[in-house]
Structure 1
Amino acid sequence: MSMRSDERRQKPLLQVLLPGPAEDTRGVAAPAASAAGSPARAPPLGSAAAGPEPPGPGAGGVARTGTVGGRSGAVSGPGPSADGRVSPAGKAQEALQERYRLGSLLGSGGFGTVYSGTRLADGAPVAIKCVARDRIRHWGELPHGARAPLEIVLMDKVSSGCLAVILLLEWVELPNSFLLVLERPERCQDLSGLLAERRFLPEEEARGLFRQVLETSCGVLHRDIKPENILLDLATGQLKLIDFGCGAFLQDTAYTQFAGTLSYSPPEWIHHQHYHGEAAAMWSLGLLLYHLVVGKHPFRRGQEIIWGRILFPQRLSQGGSSSLGRGE
């Protein structure tokens, strides 16, 4: 997902993410968004495409908003209006539209749908991520006790303490979805796009970027570290780790469920169906560093990961090859 700064096709926030005031949202599924297309509509709230409404926070029309990073936690949403004509979710939607304007589609997939946006108060660029409630598999608890999707809980933990992690500015819970408002550097590119343009990075440059990635733990296991999930601010050189949808809290015991990209999974997962967090993180970091300096992923198939046979180009220095492990 590349967060570009193109705002030429701005639209009102709710015109794209949410149904209009005269639209019936109780059974019409909107077409799925395409990352390659123009700004597209997410499934309307309450539509068949959004799936059934499970029990949990926000059920029954309750809407909540929250902020993170030193201001952590969900804040109780507005109660029903005196005349009962405006739902709490409707008020939350209207408040969000008053603060942000939506831009172009940045990416769409299992993680949700992400759009560029602008904060109206100061013109700051943001990214707005929409995640359907029925896609949320893991929940957690914020410091003050409120229940929220684990992605939000993890970002609440890391946003204020890790400079190399994208900042979650605020979030809104709606009956069938969650909206996450994230910082977005004005000029940025993910490392996958950078490698596509330059093939590989010089060792010194890769070393500096890699050092920033090492500062992103903060007690959280991302579980999907790869070039596509690392954003580079082209103006400052600062990296930002994005998309904590596969994340988990770091634990001492083994993980028995895999989340992330299979080609970045450690050999013990493929062979034994379990892995330890720190060891798996080190493995994925090693693959990332190889990808940066060589220009491609070292493995193409799962069996190659088990064999662990890695080849290094002759242009790499002795120190560069040693930092990646012994090769041929």
Structure 2
Amino acid sequence: MEQDEDSHQQLSTVSLPRSGRPSKTDEKKKIKLVGEAIKRPIVTLQGLQVFLASTSQSSKTDKEEEVEDKVDNNLLVPSVSSDQGFVYVDEKYQIGEQLANGGLGTIFEGIRKSDKQRVALKVVEKNGETMILPDEPDPIPLEVGLMKLVSRHPACPQVIQLLDWCETDTHVVLVLERPELCQNLHTFIKQRGRIGEPLARHFCYQLVRALQHCESREVFHRDVKPSNILVLLTTNEIKLIDFGCGDLHEETAYEEFCGTKAYAPPECLKNHGYYSSPTTVWTLGLTLAFIVSGHLPFEPGKNECIFIPSHVSQELQDLLCWCLCYEPEDRPGLEEILLHPWMNEK
């Protein structure tokens, strides 16, 4: 988690409303990916092949070792035709420098050789989570499936697009669009300090649209936060990224937490079941609070009172308190957020 994301400003204190909890169903969705994200080793600039070789040292037969010697340890991915065996990922992409290394993967810059298009290659270790799509003959990695769902036509300009993907026995490689001149929203805010409410409103509107698109595709992102939002510096347009903690939307409650703990809603931290829509709105509210203050609005370890900077307008305070209601059933839906007076100020 990024530094300062759990900081707060003790300027104005607002108690969160409390009321009855939503009714729970007997059947609950249980998630295997739980707890804090595991840090992967940092990848050297010698290439993707070194990374994969260093993280998949398993016992191999003499025949497998002979094949590896012939292909010089390049990244192998299944070809479309099983008769063709394996093909090199670097036949299709020129792999550049490492862009980022986080708990859920390592990202490289790349160029698609066929048309020189800029791409990002995200390498993640397989975790056993898969899903089935009608256009796929076999189960595919969960993150790939979620990204295929949100990338299908008509796509959403506020959600990063999956262009291609491949896999090895131990890793998945997602080929993503790579916008020019961009930085994550956390860095954007930290470098600029306080930003005005018109720009905050512009970011919030786009984020709501991105999350509505995810909901329409039955995708629960589950890790909405400033560092998972890219800002295009020339236009101030945004793109929601990193579906590594995501899952399919369920009407039943999720029991185990997956995401960034500082952004988890109260019902999750109290070991109660949590639901996708109220959780999404909670994380959106925290993201909006960070945008206008540069800090999360809670004291560390507490989330029953929020701290709102004195410069924030009354209308925005009202929206923040609504999104951050202690009880999940009291939070608005995404459509209600778009109808809030602060969202419609000129």
Partners of 2:277 and 2:100 in 1: CA distance: 29
Q: Select the structure with the greater relative contact order (CA < 8 A; seq sep ≥ 6).
A: 2
Alpha-carbon contact 1:44-1:50 (below 8 Å) kept: no
Alignment match of 2:118 (pick from 121, 125, 136): 125
Amino acid at match of 1:78: S
In structure 1, the residue matched to 2:334 is: none
Partners of 1:114 and 1:49 in 2: CA distance: 15
Q: Residues 197 and 48 (structure 1 numbering): CA distance in 2 closer, same or farther, change over 3 Å? A: closer
Alpha-carbon contact 1:251-1:277 (below 8 Å) kept: yes
Alpha-carbon contact 2:228-2:242 (below 8 Å) kept: yes
Alignment match of 2:148 (pick from 150, 156, 164): 156
Query: What is the deviation of 1:42?
Result: 5.1
The within-5 A match list for 1:268-279 is 268-279=267-278
Query: What is the deviation of 1:106?
Result: 1.1
The within-5 A match list for 1:60-139 is 63-64=77-78, 77-81=80-84, 88-89=85-86, 91=87, 93=88, 96-133=89-126, 136-139=127-130
Partners of 1:180 and 1:249 in 2: CA distance: 18
- The TM-score with structure 2 as length reference comes to 0.69
Query: What is the deviation of 1:209?
Result: 0.9
Alpha-carbon contact 1:50-1:132 (below 8 Å) kept: no
The superposition leaves residues 54-105 of structure 1 with CA deviations (integer Å, 9 ceiling, x where unpaired) of xxxxxxx99446xxxxxxxxxxx23245xxxxxx23x1x2xx3132212221
Partners of 2:50 and 2:83 in 1: CA distance: 21
Alpha-carbon contact 2:146-2:219 (below 8 Å) kept: yes
Q: Residues 268 and 48 (structure 1 numbering): CA distance in 2 closer, same or farther, change over 3 Å? A: same
Q: Residues 297 and 46 (structure 1 numbering): CA distance in 2 closer, same or farther, change over 3 Å? A: closer
Query: What is the deviation of 1:43?
Result: 7.0
Count of aligned pairs between the two proteins: 263
Query: What is the deviation of 1:207?
Result: 0.7
Alpha-carbon contact 1:213-1:239 (below 8 Å) kept: yes
In structure 2, the residue matched to 1:325 is: 321
- Unpaired runs of 5+ in structure 2? 2-39, 60-67, 69-75, 325-346
- Unpaired runs of 5+ in structure 1? 2-30, 54-60, 66-76, 82-87
In structure 1, the residue matched to 2:291 is: 292
Give secondary structure in 1 for the equivalent of 2:100: strand
Query: What is the deviation of 1:143?
Result: 2.2
In structure 2, the residue matched to 1:309 is: 305
- The TM-score with structure 1 as length reference comes to 0.73
Identity %: 35
The within-5 A match list for 1:1-328 is 32-33=41-42, 39=45, 41=47, 44=50, 47=53, 49-50=55-56, 63-64=77-78, 77-81=80-84, 88-89=85-86, 91=87, 93=88, 96-133=89-126, 136-145=127-136, 146-160=138-152, 161-216=155-210, 217=214, 218=216, 219-302=218-301, 304-305=302-303, 308-325=304-321
Partners of 2:285 and 2:58 in 1: CA distance: 41
